[in-house]
Amino acid sequence: MTSLPLTPLLDKVRYPADLRELEDRDLPQLAREVRDEMIDAVSKTGGHLGAGLGVVELTIAIHKVFDTPNDRLIFDVGHQCYPHKILTGRRDRIRTLRQEGGLSGFTKRAESLYDPFGAAHSSTSISAGLGMAVAADLSGTDRKVIAVIGDGAMSAGMAYEALNNAGALDARLIVILNDNDMSIAPPTGAMSAYLARLASGRTYMGFRDLGKKLTAYLGKTVDRAITRAVEHARGYVTGGTMFEEMGFYHIGPIDGHSFEHLLPVLRNVRDNGQGPVLIHVVTQKGKGYAPAEAAADKYHGVNKFDVITGAQAKAKPNAPSYTAVFGEALVQEATLDEKIVGITAAMPSGTGLDKLAEIFPKRTFDVGIAEQHAVTFAAGLAAEGFKPFCALYSTFLQRGYDQVVHDVAIQGLPVRFPIDRAGFVGADGPTHAGSFDTGFLASLPGFVVMAAADEAELKHMVRTAAAYDAGPISFRYPRGEGVGVQLPERGEILEIGKGRVMKQGTKVALLSFGTRLADCLLAAEDLDAAGLSTTVVDARFAKPLDADLIRQLARHHAVLVTVEEGAVGGFGSQVVQLLASEGLLDNGLKFRSLVLPDFWMDQAKPEVMYAKAGLDAAGITQTVFKALGQAGVGVNAAG
């Protein structure tokens, strides 16, 4: 058994009120103990490590200075909130982070009063904070609202929409820009370069001007400590910055690891001034843990690891991941077709597009956390005859939906959408589950919507998408490993709108869309063994449907079950629409549609989530037995 870190001071702090009892001089020790606690916890659970390590001092300083939870503290994305959880009554459960029944890996309203706003998708904090600041104003309270947003998150359009609005409303909102010069990958874009220039000091004001400016903003009561703090940090209140032009009072950059600098600035901002203020804080991702500080990704997201060496546990994979297969297949196609380009919204390694970037850097675009822009940027490329692969996670594509409709689909532009993380994603929970893409894409006229049943199918779909130029086309695939099928040398071009029969039976038809196919095949074994001869079909397409094949299934089977890892409104809904409109439900066919359940499923191991959703072999088999009014459990259904 490994021993827990020694944390005598932290042991006295359950809530921020306890922290506020400490002397300022105790805080560096508290920070060391919070770091040790967090490193130990994440070494056992895995999770987002680097971002939290970088905000330990900032989190402590905010709770020390502000009256949380009455004052509202919002973390953008929320992946950096582990120190906050440790300090806000959740330390006793910190080793359950991201586990089934445990703490969420993000801020979550249902979990704590100290999480006034839930997050996991980025760049929402300034908007939410502004809403809360205006609400405070309207309610006549003097509650403070603090939004902590990273430099990566600051690349999204929503952040600017909020800054723009806040400046105009002159609301009392405190934005803390946590600038660690990192997103998941190194940040890209002009804004990132601008922040780097600010942090390097080239636009700083002189000390005398600083004094004048602070007095002008904070009033005559301005604490001398604040001017000393920013001076010592080599940071000065900047003049004429973009943030000031937008109506914010801008302080910084200051050293986000120094309590001497953080506390006076926060106290002065708390007690003085009016209107929105932006404090630019410079931090280091992974701070205080050598392996994280040295890692290229600053240990953004890690598996369980050995605290001494930093070595992460890696189970030996049984098959390549879908992401890797996609990345390699895209490189293969791009090598043969120079019109192919790749687009990622700040997720080069997560989407596998880093492979394309290695070989074709000029044809690969990391646009930052900017999914809306990514989609319309791809549309522009497609309008000029290029073949853009706009590779997004299903959950993040949601943010670009109007762009998909208005800028791609209505104009019939051949943008290719590889959709990763389709379905359950395990530890990241409901905010990251890819639930809705089939529904929101298959309802769009002219869209081709595919799902890969295994990694070989994924290769076929990459090639099919590359070859298809008649309009938008998407293909979805899940997080994690493939099923271990033999991969073809190169993908084939699939016939649009044609499914494939995997196994022919006579009584029951299982019509699968995506990687639930493997469980359909297992369920079919059990059903066959129970005397229910079962057909299994891989639909491949939710749009256009293979209408002839579906008609055959409906006419020649007693039970037809659709199976997909997506919410209601997706593949099954397309199928039932076809059946209903052609009267194929009128003759006694028992039709059932298995989809994700109608609740937000918390994090757990994917197998557990499938079972809860009734989307594993057992759930499929049971659905058939129930439809036929029979009871029965098969071998594959037992688990």
Ligand X SMILES: CC(=O)[C@@H](O)[C@H](O)COP(=O)(O)O
Ligand Y SMILES: Cc1ncc(C[n+]2csc(CCOP(=O)(O)OP(=O)(O)O)c2C)c(N)n1
What residues act catalytically? 285, 371, 399
| Residue 104 interacting with ligand Y (CB under 6 A) | no
Using CB under 6 A as the binding rule, whether residue 80 contacts ligand Y is answered as yes
From the list Mg ion, ligand Y, ligand X, none, which binds 41 (C-beta under 5 to 8 Å, kind-based)? none
Is residue 152 close enough to count as binding ligand X by CB under 6 A? no
- For the purposes of burial, counting CB atoms within 10 Å of the CB of 628, is it exposed (0-12), middle (13-18) or buried (19 or more)? middle
Nearer CB in complex with Mg ion: 182/494:
182
Nearer to ligand X, 63 or 432 (CB): 432
Task: Using the rule CB under 6 A, give the single segment among 132-140, 153-161, 277-285, 421-429 that binds ligand X.
Answer: 421-429
Partner interacting with residue 39 (select from ligand X, Mg ion, ligand Y, none; CB below 5-8 Å by kind): none
Annotated binding residue 125? no
Least separation in angstroms between CB 564 and ligand Y: 24
Chain positions 19 to 58 lying near ligand X, rule: CB under 6 A, are 48
Rounded to whole angstroms, how far apart are CA atoms 152 and 162?
16
A 10 A CB-CB count for 212 gives 12
Q: What is the DSSP secondary structure assignment for residue 257, as one 8-state letter?
A: T
Nearest by Cα to 89 from 70, 72, 112? 112
79 assigned to a ligand binding site:
yes
Three-state secondary structure of 591-612: EEEECCCCCCCCCCCHHHHHHH
346 binds, among Mg ion, ligand X, ligand Y, none (CB under 5 to 8 A by kind): ligand Y
d(CA 506, CA 499): 18
Distance CA 347, CA 586 (A): 48
Q: Which does 400 bind (CB under 5 to 8 A by kind): Mg ion, ligand X, ligand Y, none?
A: none
Q: Work out the number of other CB atoms within 10 angstroms of the CB of residue 100.
A: 14
- Applying CB under 6 A, which of residues 252, 286, 350, 430 lies at the interface with ligand X? 350
- In this chain, which of 42, 55, 61, 77 binds ligand X, going by CB under 6 A? 77
Is there binding between residue 81 and ligand X (CB under 6 A)? no
Q: Which does 517 bind (CB under 5 to 8 A by kind): Mg ion, ligand Y, ligand X, none?
A: none
Q: Does 302 bind ligand X (CB under 6 A)?
A: no
Q: Helices 157-169 and 125-138 meet at what angle, rounded to 10?
A: 20
Distance, in Å, from the CA atom of 422 to the CA atom of 393, rounded to the nearest integer, reads: 7
Total residues interacting with Mg ion, rule: CB under 5 A: 5
Candidates 79, 90, 298, 612; binder of ligand X (CB under 6 A) is 79
285, 387, 463, 479: which one binds ligand X (CB under 6 A): 479
Q: What is the largest CA-CA distance in the chain?
A: 89
Q: 421 contacts which partner out of ligand Y, Mg ion, ligand X, none, CB within 5 to 8 A by kind?
A: ligand X
Binding to ligand X, residues 169-228 (CB under 6 A):
184
User: Nearest residue by C-beta to Mg ion?
Assistant: 150
Query: Do 98 and 51 meet the contact criterion of CB atoms below 8 Å apart?
Result: no
Q: Is 363 exposed, middle or buried, given 0-12, 13-18 or 19+ CB atoms closer than 10 A?
A: middle
Q: Does residue number 373 form part of the binding site for ligand Y (CB under 6 A)?
A: no
DSSP annotation of 10 reads: G
Stretch that binds ligand Y, among 63-71, 341-349, 492-500, 615-623 (CB under 6 A): 341-349
Nearer to ligand X, 41 or 382 (CB): 41
- Among 166, 182, 382, 615, indicate the residue that binds ligand Y (CB under 6 A): 182
Q: Is 127 in the site for ligand Y (CB under 6 A)?
A: no
| Helix segments in 102-141, DSSP class H | 125-138
Contact (CB, 8 A) for 615 and 435 = no
CB of 96 to ligand Y, least distance (A): 22
Q: Which stretch binds ligand Y (CB under 6 A): 149-157, 197-205, 220-228, 593-601?
A: 149-157
C-alpha distances in Å from residue 68, one per residue of 17, 144, 147: 8, 9, 13
Contact indicator for 594, 623 with CB cutoff of 8 Å: yes
Q: Which of 153, 166, 210, 451 binds ligand Y (CB under 6 A)?
A: 153
Q: Out of Mg ion, ligand Y, ligand X, none, which partner does residue 479 contact, by CB within 5 to 8 A per kind?
A: ligand X
| Residue 490 region by backbone torsions, left for phi larger than 0, else alpha for psi between -120 and 50, else beta | beta
Residue 544 in 3-state DSSP? coil
Give the integer Cα–Cα distance in Å for 517 and 629: 24
List the beta bridge partners of residue 72.
145
Do the annotations mark residue 151 as ligand-binding? yes
Contact by Cβ (8 Å): 571, 542: yes
Q: How far is the CB of 132 from ligand X (least distance, A)?
A: 22
Helix (H) or strand (E) holding 401: helix 401-403
Q: Are residues 121 and 77 in contact, defined by beta-carbon separation less than 8 angstroms?
A: yes
Instruction: Return the number of other C-beta atoms located less than 10 Å from residue 199's C-beta.
Output: 18
CB 389 within 8 A of CB 379: no
Q: Is 285 in the site for ligand Y (CB under 6 A)?
A: yes
Based on the shown chain and the rule CB under 6 A, indicate whether residue 301 belongs to the binding site for ligand X: yes
Given a contact cutoff of 8 angstroms between Cβ atoms, the answer to whether 532 and 639 are in contact is no
Enumerate residues 6+ apart whose C-beta is below 8 A from 283.
54, 55, 57, 58, 178, 179, 180, 256, 257
Residue from 366, 428, 519, 564 that binds ligand X (CB under 6 A)? 428
Spell out, one character per residue from 298 to 327, where the chain touches ligand Y: x when CB under 6 A holds, - when not.
--x---------------------------
Annotated binding-site residues for thiamine diphosphate read 79, 120-122, 152-153, 180, 289, 371
Q: Residues in the site for ligand X, rule: CB under 6 A?
A: 48, 77, 79, 184, 301, 350, 421, 425, 428, 479
Annotated binding site: 79, 120-122, 151-153, 180, 289, 371
Q: Binding site membership for Mg(2+): which residues?
A: 151, 180
Binding site for Mg ion (CB under 5 A): 150-152, 180, 182
Which parts of this chain interact with ligand Y (CB under 6 A)? Answer: 51, 54, 77, 79-80, 121-122, 150-153, 180, 182-184, 285, 300, 345-347, 369, 371, 396, 399
